[in-house]
């Protein structure tokens, strides 16, 4: 019997998850289909009940439901609980289990791209919202040399730094100080929406003091290269856009549903093709 999976969110029509997951099912000849479901906040509870009653194998959860969905699940994975957000639900014979694969997806992507350990890296995270929390917590659990959080609202950077300090040496800086001390960092990660279409000319911080050989990454993939990444590349830096994190969070969700490795490269190719990028 065909097994149904999907993603719930609002807006959802531009989600690349169906393209990516269906490419994986085709590659592995799985008798499954993956659909995007538009779900407003007022319908969240009944949508989650629908997953159970209709027997969906699992779903992804995206904006704006990642936090609110937790209350409707039967079991929350400890990492998702700590992050305070769920992006993947497994329907285990009627028991709904919530996970968060965003942060670990980012760490996997970064490790693959850098090709070596992160234990000796000093990392600057720009932003302190939901996306930043998953990425920062997973990086600090992985064990980086030093992590600094910077954010427009400093109090949120401080709160996140306190949480991450449980696992790694983490502090926070004002945006002005982070820009002034940018040469101290090996990896800079933008987790904010600054630079996302249609605001192509915006940057979350100045790269004037970027250290030679530093690596710059952006969670945004629309545009494919943000102004931040274009400037970093012009300065000779290695760069990574949000596609890698998106693909790896999807691959980790796939593994939770099917208990086998996902065809990561096939999934990535399908996303890049859809975005009009070059593989």
Active site residues: 66
Work out whether 192 is an interface residue with ligand ATR (CB under 6 A): yes
Work out whether 131 is an interface residue with ligand ATR (CB under 6 A): yes
Which of 6, 98, 127, 223 touches ligand ATR by CB under 6 A?
127
Work out whether 132 is an interface residue with ligand ATR (CB under 6 A): yes
* Of residues 163 and 266, the one with the C-beta less far from ligand ATR: 163
- Residue 211 beta carbon to ligand ATR: minimum distance, rounded to whole angstroms: 23
- Residue 86 beta carbon to ligand ATR: minimum distance, rounded to whole angstroms: 13
Work out whether 226 is an interface residue with ligand ATR (CB under 6 A): no
Q: Tell me which residue of 229, 226, 216 sits closest to 186, measured CA to CA.
A: 216
* Of residues 81 and 159, the one with the C-beta less far from ligand ATR: 159
Which of 122, 141, 146, 152 touches ligand ATR by CB under 6 A?
152
- Residue 202 beta carbon to ligand ATR: minimum distance, rounded to whole angstroms: 8
- Residue 70 beta carbon to ligand ATR: minimum distance, rounded to whole angstroms: 15
Work out whether 193 is an interface residue with ligand ATR (CB under 6 A): yes
């Amino acid at each position: 019997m065909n097994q149904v999976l999907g993603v719930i969110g609002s807006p959802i029509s531009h989600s690349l998850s169906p393209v990516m997951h269906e490419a994986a099912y085709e590659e592995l000849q799985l008798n499954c289909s993956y659909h995007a479901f538009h779900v407003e906040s007022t319908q969240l509870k009944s949508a989650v009940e629908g997953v159970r009653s209709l027997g969906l194998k699992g779903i992804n959860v995206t904006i704006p439901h990642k936090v609110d969905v937790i209350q409707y699940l039967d079991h929350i994975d400890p990492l998702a609980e700590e992050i305070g957000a769920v992006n993947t639900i497994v329907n285990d014979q009627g028991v709904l289990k919530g996970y968060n694969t965003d942060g670990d997806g980012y760490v996997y992507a970064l490790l693959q791209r850098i090709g070596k350990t992160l234990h000796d890296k000093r990392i600057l995270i720009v932003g302190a919202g939901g996306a930043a929390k998953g990425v920062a917590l997973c990086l600090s659990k992985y064990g980086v040399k030093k992590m600094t959080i910077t954010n427009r609202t400093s109090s949120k950077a401080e709160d996140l730094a306190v949480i991450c300090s449980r696992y790694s040496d983490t502090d926070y800086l004002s945006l002005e100080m982070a820009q002034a001390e940018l040469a101290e960092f090996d990896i800079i990660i933008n987790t904010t929406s600054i630079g996302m279409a249609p605001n192509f000319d915006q940057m979350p911080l100045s790269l004037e003091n970027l250290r030679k050989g530093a690596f710059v990454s952006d969670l945004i993939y629309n545009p494919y290269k943000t102004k931040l990444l274009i400037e970093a590349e012009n300065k000779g830096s290695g760069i990574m856009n949000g596609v890698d994190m998106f693909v790896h969070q999807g691959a980790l969700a796939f593994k939770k549903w099917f208990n086998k490795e996902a065809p990561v490269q096939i999934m990535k190719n399908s996303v890049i093709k859809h975005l009009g990028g070059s593989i």
